[in-house]
Each structure stands twice: as C-alpha cells, then as structure tokens.
Amino acid sequence: MSTQGTPKTLYDKIWDAHVVHQDADGTCLIYIDRHLVHEVTSPQAFEGLRMTGRRVRAPEKTVAVPDHNVPTDARRAERIDDEMSRIQVETLRQNAREFGVELYDVDDVRQGIVHIVGPEQGWTLPGLTIVCGDSHTATHGAFGALAHGIGTSEVEHVLATQTLIQKKSKNMLVRVEGELPPGVTAKDITLTIIGRTGTAGGTGHVIEYAGSAIRGLSMEGRMTVCNMAIEGGARAGLIAPDEKTFAYVMGRPHAPKGAAWEAAMAYWQTLKSDEGAQYDKVVEIDAAEIAPVVTWGTSPEDVLPITGTVPRPEDFEGAKREAAARALDYMGLTPGQRLADVEIDTVFIGSCTNGRIEDLREVARIMEGRRVKEGLRAMIVPGSGLVRLQAEQEGIADKLRAAGFDWRMAGCSMCLGMNPDQLAPGERCASTSNRNFEGRQGYKGRTHLMSPAMAAAAAITGRLTDVRELV
C-alpha cells in the first residue's frame, strides 16, 4: 500500500492511518490512540465532562500521572504543603477514579514525568497517535509515534471523543549526517538545530529527524531530540522506528505480546518515509560541526558553543535586536564576556528532556573522582520512580550523593518551578531542562540550557564549562 502512488513521508503514513473523517475543506477528524493526562491541564477538562454528562470514551487508552507540581522530597506521599498543588493532585486522583482511568499516584514507583512514564510502561508505541495537555508530548515521536501537545479544551475533546479536529501540518526534514565529536550529545544536536532554525522555524510543520547521527543515538537520546521539537516551533518531531526502537519497546508492561507483537512488528517495519518522499522544508546539519552548546538568553534559540562569547544586541537585526538587549539585561550578562567565565549558583539535572537513566549515567561518568563545587546547590531529579530505582540499583545514586548532589524524588521539578524547587531572583542555573524563558525556573531566575554532561562540568567548576576539558 505504501509503495504505490506518491511516495509518502512517515508523517503522511501515520496521519493517513488515523483519519476518521475528512471534510471538503481538508479539516479532519483524527483518531487518538493514547491520551496521557496530568494534574495541571486536566481539571477543567474533566469538569467539562461532568457538566455535560459525558464519559471518557476510551479509559483503556488513557493514563494519568501527577508530575508538574508534586514536591520532590521524600515525605510528599504523606503530605503536599502547598494547598493549591495538593488540591490539583487530589482532583486528578478523584477524576481518575470517577472516570475509570489508570493512575500512577505519588506513592507508586511508576510515577514520574508523563513523557518518561509513557515510554517506560509501553504506552508509547510506533505508529500511534499520542496526545497530552503538555507541549513536550513531542518526546514520544522518538518511537515513530505522532505525538503532540494540546490545550485543555482539546484534552476534554479527546476524553469525550477519542479524536481531535485537525488540519494536516507540513512536512519538514532535519537531517543530521556524520559522526558526533567527543563530548557532543543529543542535547547539543537539538539545541543546535533550534539555534539554526529559530523558535518559529518549525511552526506549522511536523519535523522528521533523520541521518546517521540521529540513527546512531540511543532511544534516550532520540527522546531528547524529539522533546525539543516544540522549542523549534513544531508541534511534533518524528524518528523512524528501527531495531533499537523495537528492542526498547519489547517486554514493556503495555507493549503487545506474542502474536500481537509479531503483527505489530510487521506493521512497524513499514513506518519509514518512502524513497523520494517530498518535504516542504529541509535542513541539513553536519554532525561534525556540532559543539557542546549552552544558551545565553531567554529564548531556546539563543544558542552558542561554550567556546563563544556573549553576543551584542547589534549582532541581531530587527525586533530580535530589542529582544537580545532585554535578554542580556535579564540574564545579567555583558556583551563580549566569555561564556566559560559565567559563574552559576545552581545545577538542575532532570526534566522530560534529560531525566532518563542514560542522562544520570552520563553525569555519574563526568563526576567520577570529582565533587560538586563547595557552595553550589546541585539537584538531581530522576524522571520517574523507576529511573530513580534503576540508578540506585546501578550504584549511580550513591556516587552522585557522595559527590555532593541532592538526590530527589521524581517529577518535573525545577524545569518549570511549579513545586517548591525554584530559583531565587538573580540566581543562575546550569539546567538540563528545555526552556530558558524569563521566570521559568523562578521569578527573575536565570537559566542556561545544556546537556547533562555540560551541567555536570558546571557543577564541578561552578561556572559554565566545556566538558571536553574534563574528559
């Protein structure tokens, strides 16, 4: 079927397989295979169902987990001090019970950031459509699933109908060919792409990431790349599934088994763009030219190699010049200053971008025989209870604790500072998260985005640091 007629992209194939109905003007009703729900963007949606007497159409395709505002201290299962956070978590619990949706509660080892939990539990499979009221749903695209964030009205729409009203996006290809230099990771790839295309570069598109450097990444690395498709303006990122994908999925609690597995595999192997498929936009990047990078400003497109210097507003044109001046003022940086001279107060390792086991192993590897610099606050927030448990079983947790890190419970934590983990005004953070917006990690807090390896290097020296000097 896929080999006949016009060659199709991976996006075209998954889209076509999910069209329930198409209107004459191209507006489609798209079937949604998995709906992930968390406490912050769902209460108004469940309330809407209640007010209209509607039920959840497919509770077996829906899973709920509190992650955004749960505290990361050990006593959180007993109590959440912040009254409004407590009410939101409790509301999710009640809604899950009332509408028959499976919940991984705060005291469940499977709890964690929804985008880490989905793949871990096998909810995330190739070829599926996956949505969540969270923009980083793009993460699941690493499995060749069409996954994107939605607003609360659409959460209610999916709960009630298991579909979304959509028009098809355009196809964009980002091809990264070649071998990554030492010290360069998936995070550097994804930040470099955003630095190149800008935060609106992918608007209206679904990005397919391809090329040997992408294929060479582990599933964890691929999730890091797709996670930040949204920072590049694209609702969804996609990577064609391959043997690594199938090996990751096999045996997961919600993955198909036996004959169903065989049938699924036969289908999943067709999930790749056809030879000659057309893209509306193509970006080519040479992996060999990617360096370890950090952000200097308040937009994820403000990316520079760690060897660079803080830019001048005059280096930019038009409205971006004004934005750069505002960003430098907010970040407390001086044009011409070496990025490697910028001192930090805090290190945050975690988030749906970089809170997986491979990220923690990488930090442990850099920290081998070294310590967090005296006076720094350095926290590690594993992406899920299972990541945390695995790190403990591998002995990583003990090493990181001994090196001076605060070893926390799982959740979104300081990536967005909805829970007590926040920056104080003026504090500067080396962060493995995904957004450096004004106030993101705390009022007037200053965020520099980077890879886990680079964040570990910063933890050792107390300033932004080229990890290649330490390995």
Taking the complex as a whole, how short is the minimal distance between the CB of residue 337 and another protein, in angstroms?
Answer: 23
* Residue nearer to another protein on the CB measure, 344 or 412: 412
Instruction: State how far the Cα of 160 lies from the Cα of 194, in Å rounded to an integer.
Output: 35
For residue 20, state whether it binds another protein (rule: CB under 8 A). yes
For residue 27, state whether it binds another protein (rule: CB under 8 A). yes
- Contact between 302 and 280 under an 8 Å Cβ cutoff? The reply is no
Type of residue at 42: S
Q: What does the per-residue mask of binding to another protein show for 201-240, with x meaning CB under 8 A?
A: --xx-------------------------x--xxx-----
Compute the residue count for the chain. 471
Applying CB under 8 A, among 16, 23, 314, 469 the residue interacting with another protein is: 23
* Residue nearer to another protein on the CB measure, 181 or 330: 330
> Of the listed pieces 96-104, 131-139, 208-216, 394-402, which binds another protein according to CB under 8 A?
131-139
For residue 420, state whether it binds another protein (rule: CB under 8 A). no
- Contact between 218 and 424 under an 8 Å Cβ cutoff? The reply is no
- Contact between 149 and 132 under an 8 Å Cβ cutoff? The reply is yes
* Residue nearer to another protein on the CB measure, 32 or 366: 32
Instruction: State how far the Cα of 229 lies from the Cα of 52, in Å rounded to an integer.
Output: 35
Taking the complex as a whole, how short is the minimal distance between the CB of residue 216 and another protein, in angstroms?
Answer: 28
- Per DSSP, the three-state class of 290 is coil
Taking the complex as a whole, how short is the minimal distance between the CB of residue 281 and another protein, in angstroms?
Answer: 15
- Per DSSP, the three-state class of 121 is coil
For tokens 């990444």, name the residue: 217
Tokens of 308: 């660079």
Applying CB under 8 A, among 247, 263, 282, 288 the residue interacting with another protein is: 263
Tokens of 146: 């069409």
> Of the listed pieces 124-132, 336-344, 384-392, 398-406, which binds another protein according to CB under 8 A?
124-132
For residue 2, state whether it binds another protein (rule: CB under 8 A). no
Applying CB under 8 A, among 217, 418, 456, 467 the residue interacting with another protein is: 418
Applying CB under 8 A, among 260, 282, 424, 471 the residue interacting with another protein is: 260
- Contact between 10 and 141 under an 8 Å Cβ cutoff? The reply is no
Instruction: State how far the Cα of 456 lies from the Cα of 268, in Å rounded to an integer.
Output: 37
User: Rounded to whole angstroms, what are the CA distances from 333 to 122, 239, 325, 449?
Assistant: 44, 37, 10, 15
- Contact between 80 and 71 under an 8 Å Cβ cutoff? The reply is yes
For residue 438, state whether it binds another protein (rule: CB under 8 A). yes
For residue 199, state whether it binds another protein (rule: CB under 8 A). yes
- Show the beta-strand stretches assigned E in 86-138: 102-103, 129-132
Taking the complex as a whole, how short is the minimal distance between the CB of residue 199 and another protein, in angstroms?
Answer: 6
> Of the listed pieces 272-280, 282-290, 316-324, 352-360, which binds another protein according to CB under 8 A?
316-324
Applying CB under 8 A, among 2, 73, 77, 91 the residue interacting with another protein is: 91
- Subset of residues 132 to 161 that bind another protein, contact rule: CB under 8 A: 133-135, 148-154, 156-157, 160-161
For residue 416, state whether it binds another protein (rule: CB under 8 A). yes
Which H or E run contains 358? Answer: helix 357-367
- CA 42, 44, 45 angle in degrees (round to 5)? 60
Helices H / strands E in the chain, number of each: 16, 19
Applying CB under 8 A, among 4, 5, 25, 182 the residue interacting with another protein is: 25
Interface with another protein (CB under 8 A), residue total: 77
* Residue nearer to another protein on the CB measure, 128 or 342: 128
* Residue nearer to another protein on the CB measure, 27 or 212: 27
> Of the listed pieces 315-323, 331-339, 357-365, 399-407, which binds another protein according to CB under 8 A?
315-323
* Residue nearer to another protein on the CB measure, 191 or 387: 191
* Residue nearer to another protein on the CB measure, 260 or 288: 260
Instruction: State how far the Cα of 37 lies from the Cα of 153, in Å rounded to an integer.
Output: 13
Taking the complex as a whole, how short is the minimal distance between the CB of residue 24 and another protein, in angstroms?
Answer: 10
The secondary structure of residue 338, as a DSSP letter, is B
Instruction: State how far the Cα of 185 lies from the Cα of 52, in Å rounded to an integer.
Output: 48
Instruction: State how far the Cα of 33 lies from the Cα of 41, in Å rounded to an integer.
Output: 19
For residue 81, state whether it binds another protein (rule: CB under 8 A). no
- Per DSSP, the three-state class of 196 is helix
Taking the complex as a whole, how short is the minimal distance between the CB of residue 425 and another protein, in angstroms?
Answer: 8
For residue 427, state whether it binds another protein (rule: CB under 8 A). no
For residue 64, state whether it binds another protein (rule: CB under 8 A). no
Applying CB under 8 A, among 196, 244, 326, 370 the residue interacting with another protein is: 326
Type of residue at 160: A
> Of the listed pieces 214-222, 260-268, 342-350, 380-388, which binds another protein according to CB under 8 A?
260-268
Please give the span between the terminal C-alpha atoms of the chain, in angstroms, as a whole number: 50
The secondary structure of residue 20, as a DSSP letter, is E
The secondary structure of residue 343, as a DSSP letter, is B
- Subset of residues 264 to 293 that bind another protein, contact rule: CB under 8 A: 264, 267
* Residue nearer to another protein on the CB measure, 399 or 446: 446
Tokens of 107: 């005291």
